[in-house]
A = this chain, B = another copy of it.
Amino acid sequence: MTAVPDPASSLPAADDFHVFDTTLRDGAQREGINLTVADKLAIARHLDDFGVGYIEGGWPGANPRDTEFFERARDEITFRHARLVAFGATRKAGVAAADDPQVAALLASGAPVITLVAKAHDRHVELALRTTLEENLAMVRDTVAHLRAQGRRVFVDCEHFFDGYRANPGYALDVVRAAHQAGAEVVVLCDTNGGMLPAQVGTVVAAVLAATGARLGIHAQDDTGCAVANTLAAVDAGATHVQCTANGYGERVGNANLFPVVAALELKYGREVLPAGALAEMTRISHAIAEVVNLTPSTHQPYVGVSAFAHKAGLHASAIKVDPDLYQHIDPERVGNTMRMLVSDMAGRASIELKGKELGYDLTGDRDLAGRVVERVKERELAGYTYEAADASFELLLRDEVTGAATRFFRVESWRTIVEQRPDGVQVNEATVKLWAKGERIIATGEGNGPVDALDRALRVGLERIYPQLARMELVDYKVRIVEGRHGTRSTTRVLVSTSDGGEYAGARSASVEGGGGRRAGEWSTVGVGGNVIAASWQALDDAYTYGLLRAGLEPPRD
């Protein structure tokens, strides 16, 4: 057992309020999440950037991945704000804490802080743990005392606390007292099954605080849809430690979402719980973590969702022209998000004018033009298009109406893709395109990992000689959606493609386009719709490269 340096011990961060993140431990229980060690390290870095005080990294000893994570985190990450926390259980019944290998693994992780989970519900002690109520209290006392004697800070998670308090309040309080008196710095009341409502949480937290004097924390699950409110209710009642997960990931419905909790504390309570400037990184960090865990960021997440400050109602659009603050509860820039006007068939001219302005087109002088754009958007949305997430395709539509001509750098004569699984097991993906550009007829063939990739390559092979700018462009995201519900493979398919030029031509288009929809700089999104995925992809690619060439400063030739 080596001495444990606390990497954050010299930092000035106030410790009177703990923002404790458990994405890497409890968040990983979410259906669909499966984290590698590299994923966990990447998330830990994002969380430290965001400035949380504590990062619970996992249960060292319980599985090789978590053990490795603590080893590598120690070597590879210099935390600027956060302290690393190991999660584990109290000692086994009938075994000394010093002799319990599970407890030894927690110490061996080198984590300066250890969260111990303890049973606080009498029925769980008897049925799940299968020991006596008295032995459970001894397990809490002994394990906390042992870890404290080894120089670690200890937090105790009282599992099923609220249900336990309802069933047997005296015993639940005994567990809190046992942890507190043995030296636990914080006793965390957990709504493990997530069934509580804010008023209940507030009442119980206040009662436990009055009865024990322990420093209390809250760990809320979202099964009633109230995890954020439950966390805030606990803070209102005196808790000074909040356990949350990024994007609310967690088992079943999920955990209290870190982002709305800290946003409420900072923006609504005026309580500084993050380093200065961190909140403005929130949207970026939320999306970055979603990418690491490989889940699409929730578009409707409070504060950080792409839709969180998006307006489409005509009523709102007219008022927003007068004063944006009339229709938003905070300035979205405070959380790193942006207001967006949505283009949809519910939008009237006012929305289209605002959107045009965002893209650099002044439509206010021409009511007919804005009306025609509204009509075309309605028509295309009926056919399955969506412009809300495809700003570049919308701009092409708008540009066509403004200039009165289609924006076209090349014209397709025909294309064909072949995907073949050969008897020898080899798979071949091939595409051929026949195009016209600058008066030339071009035939090109590409191979790829799939039919869309092959089509993409054939298109570039054919066009790069004429438009060398295409060499800088790259497909960076690709989404497929069946848009007509439950009609199987015979439905309409919509494809959204994001394309990047690596920032090469960033100056050529307005900055607002790049920031729109939560995308990165140097990226743009296009949409294609068709009877199948390949036809839809072709359209999205066509728009993607047409827009990319415009963006690179080229003027389309007149047909």
Q: Cα distance A486–B290 when bound, in Å?
A: 11
| A1 touches B (CB below 8 Å) | no
| A272 touches B (CB below 8 Å) | no
Nearest-neighbor residue (CB-CB) of A477 within chain B: B486
Which chain A residues (289-316) contact chain B, with CB distance < 8 Å? 291, 294, 299-303, 305, 307-313, 316
Q: A199-B236, A253-B307, A450-B533 are in contact. Are A223 and B302 (CB under 8 A)?
A: yes
- B residues less than 8 Å from A413 (CB atoms): 423
| A319 touches B (CB below 8 Å) | yes
- B residues less than 8 Å from A303 (CB atoms): 223, 225
| A185 touches B (CB below 8 Å) | no
- B residues less than 8 Å from A449 (CB atoms): 489-490, 531-532
Q: Cα distance A346–B538 when bound, in Å?
A: 39
Q: Are A198 and B195 in contact (CB under 8 A)?
A: no
| A480 touches B (CB below 8 Å) | yes
Q: A34-B346, A381-B34 are in contact. Are A531 and B427 (CB under 8 A)?
A: yes
Nearest-neighbor residue (CB-CB) of A319 within chain B: B128
Q: Cα distance A164–B449 when bound, in Å?
A: 58
| A19 touches B (CB below 8 Å) | no
- B residues less than 8 Å from A225 (CB atoms): 228-229, 257, 260, 302-303
| A484 touches B (CB below 8 Å) | yes
Q: Cα distance A328–B160 when bound, in Å?
A: 11
Pick from A228, A291, A450 the residue with the most CB of B within 10 Å. Answer: A450
- B residues less than 8 Å from A268 (CB atoms): 195, 197, 224
Nearest-neighbor residue (CB-CB) of A490 within chain B: B449
| A95 touches B (CB below 8 Å) | no
Interface membership of chain A positions 211-240, coded 1 if the CB is closer than 8 angstroms to chain B and 0 otherwise: 000000000001111101110110010000
| A251 touches B (CB below 8 Å) | yes
Of the candidates B309, B419, B535, the one whose C-beta lies within 8 Å of that of A252 is B309
- B residues less than 8 Å from A194 (CB atoms): 329
Q: Are B535 and A427 in contact (CB under 8 A)?
A: yes
Interface membership of chain A positions 394-421, coded 1 if the CB is closer than 8 angstroms to chain B and 0 otherwise: 0000000000000000001111111111
| A49 touches B (CB below 8 Å) | no
Q: Cα distance A254–B423 when bound, in Å?
A: 52
Q: Cα distance A223–B259 when bound, in Å?
A: 12
- B residues less than 8 Å from A443 (CB atoms): none
Q: Cα distance A237–B416 when bound, in Å?
A: 66
Which chain A residues (307-361) contact chain B, with CB distance < 8 Å? 307-313, 316, 318-319, 322-323, 326-330, 342, 344-346
Of the candidates B28, B252, B313, B329, the one whose C-beta lies within 8 Å of that of A310 is B252
Q: Are A34 and B198 in contact (CB under 8 A)?
A: no
| A270 touches B (CB below 8 Å) | no
| A476 touches B (CB below 8 Å) | yes
- B residues less than 8 Å from A257 (CB atoms): 225
Q: Are A451 and B485 in contact (CB under 8 A)?
A: no
Q: Are B260 and A450 in contact (CB under 8 A)?
A: no
Of the candidates B222, B318, B479, B487, the one whose C-beta lies within 8 Å of that of A482 is B479
Q: Cα distance A198–B197 when bound, in Å?
A: 11
- B residues less than 8 Å from A342 (CB atoms): 31
- B residues less than 8 Å from A390 (CB atoms): none
Which chain A residues (463-489) contact chain B, with CB distance < 8 Å? 474-489
Q: Cα distance A344–B487 when bound, in Å?
A: 29
| A92 touches B (CB below 8 Å) | no
- B residues less than 8 Å from A307 (CB atoms): 30-31, 252-253
- B residues less than 8 Å from A388 (CB atoms): 31-32
Q: Cα distance A29–B236 when bound, in Å?
A: 33
Q: A294-B483, A388-B31 are in contact. Are A197 and B533 (CB under 8 A)?
A: no
Q: Are A485 and B253 in contact (CB under 8 A)?
A: no
- B residues less than 8 Å from A427 (CB atoms): 531, 535
Q: Cα distance A434–B29 when bound, in Å?
A: 43
Quote the shortest CB–CB distance from A473 to chain B (angstroms).
11
Q: Nearest 9 CB-CB pairs, A to B?
A: A450-B532, A195-B329, A229-B229, A475-B488, A225-B260, A453-B489, A225-B302, A480-B480, A416-B420
User: Mind listing 23 A-B residue pairs with CB under 8 Å?
Assistant: A30-B300, A31-B300, A128-B319, A197-B268, A224-B228, A224-B260, A225-B229, A225-B303, A226-B229, A251-B311, A294-B483, A294-B484, A415-B420, A416-B418, A417-B420, A419-B534, A419-B535, A421-B538, A423-B434, A449-B489, A451-B532, A478-B488, A478-B491
**A-B contact sample (14 more), CB < 8 A, given A31-B300, A423-B434:** A29-B313, A127-B323, A128-B318, A193-B329, A225-B228, A225-B229, A228-B229, A229-B230, A251-B311, A253-B305, A253-B308, A417-B419, A419-B451, A476-B486
Partner-B contacts on A (CB < 8 A): 28-32, 34, 123-124, 127-128, 160, 163, 192-195, 197-199, 222-226, 228-230, 232-233, 236, 248, 251-254, 257, 260, 263-264, 268, 291, 294, 299-303, 305, 307-313, 316, 318-319, 322-323, 326-330, 342, 344-346, 381, 386, 388, 412-423, 427, 429, 434, 448-453, 456, 474-491, 493, 531-535, 538
